[in-house]
Amino acid sequence: MILAIGCAMVVSMRMPEDVQTRSGGRLVGGIEGGGTKFVCVIGRGPEDIVAEARIPTTTPGATLSQSVDFFRAESARRGSLAAIGVGCFGPVDLCEGSPTWGFITTTPKAGWEHTDVAGRLGKELGVPVAFDTDVNAAAIGEARWGAAQGLDTFVYLTVGTGIGGGGLLGGQPMHGLVHPEIGHMLLPHDRSLDPFPGVCPFHAGCLEGLASGPALLARWGQPAESLPPDHPAWALEARYLGLALANLVCTLSPQRIVLGGGVMEQTHLFPLIRKEVVALLNGYIRAREILEAIDAYIVPPGLGHRSGRLGALAMAQDRAGSD
């Protein structure tokens, strides 16, 4: 029996030179813009971060002003920045040419609807700005320096307070009509085994509603990190994540899936999820990566919790290089 072998190896041969070139060079800035805090960094790569600040996400005015102040003060001391990259919570407008490109659009986060993020930062700092979702930024970070080096089609999924996914498809960040909302994928939900209705106010039985940190808390009455590894919560969690990943394999055919976020810090979940994915696909996708090397196919982030901010730096490097 001959199994298909995915495209990863072919692509990877082209990457090292690229990576080396891009990780050196001029100083750039990155922002990981989350619903709780904005992490701002200045540097040239994972081993060369020269300044970092954590700014609480309060109002757009305050948070963006403080971010601008940080970059201004640091670049006055360290030299000008060639560009800034922003990986932002959303939904956001990624549509080049749109009058609201670089805006947070219809977010449920109070006060942040229709906020111009990229335009304001670019104007106040006088630098080019690259802008994408938080999860695409994390994916770009993993592709540049982490667990997805050499791949052109892969998914980064974060499982935490919410569940969101990004990635590269054919070497480009996942955009489209808006951008993916992988956390809202509708999953098989057997109410006789799991009567919990889900926490998503929009969808009964979506991934985020059934498997996010708040779903674990609401279903079991205690936070994920306090549930022991032998608690039945984890088999069910692995089941839902396995269903979602099997569906991602069928729809996106990723060369690898990187799983990050707070819930995935329970690393005992990884083998459970891998087993579910193999069982659910049931031999249909005949790729060596899935049938023989699943441990290298579903993996934790190579950059730990820094994928987003480092990805924002990588985006800034690309933006600077394209001028």
Binding residues (CB under 8 A) for its own copies: these are 1-8, 10, 91, 93-98, 100, 105-106, 114, 153, 165, 169-170, 172, 174-189, 202-203, 205, 243, 246-255, 280-287, 289-290
Min dist CB 195 to its own copies, Å, is: 14
Instruction: Select 42 or 278, whichever has its Cβ closest to its own copies.
Output: 278
| C-alpha distance from residue 92 to each of 35, 105, 107, 178, 313 (Å) | 13, 5, 8, 8, 19
Min dist CB 83 to its own copies, Å, is: 21
Instruction: Select 73 or 202, whichever has its Cβ closest to its own copies.
Output: 202
Instruction: Select 68 or 285, whichever has its Cβ closest to its own copies.
Output: 285
Min dist CB 287 to its own copies, Å, is: 5
Closest-CA residue to 317 (of 68, 105, 43): 43
Q: What angle do CA 7, 303, 127 make, to 5 degrees?
A: 95
Min dist CB 290 to its own copies, Å, is: 8
Asked whether the bond before 91 is cis by omega within 30 degrees of 0, the reply is yes
Min dist CB 236 to its own copies, Å, is: 16
Instruction: Select 68 or 178, whichever has its Cβ closest to its own copies.
Output: 178
Instruction: Select 27 or 182, whichever has its Cβ closest to its own copies.
Output: 182
3-state secondary structure 120-183: HHHHHHCCCEEEEEHHHHHHHHHHHHCCCCCCCCEEEEEECCCEEEEEEECCEECCCCCCCCHH
Question: 166 forms bridges with which residues in the sheet?
Answer: 156
Instruction: Select 255 or 266, whichever has its Cβ closest to its own copies.
Output: 255
Residue 159's Cβ-side half-sphere holds a number of Cα atoms within 13 Å equal to 31
Min dist CB 94 to its own copies, Å, is: 8
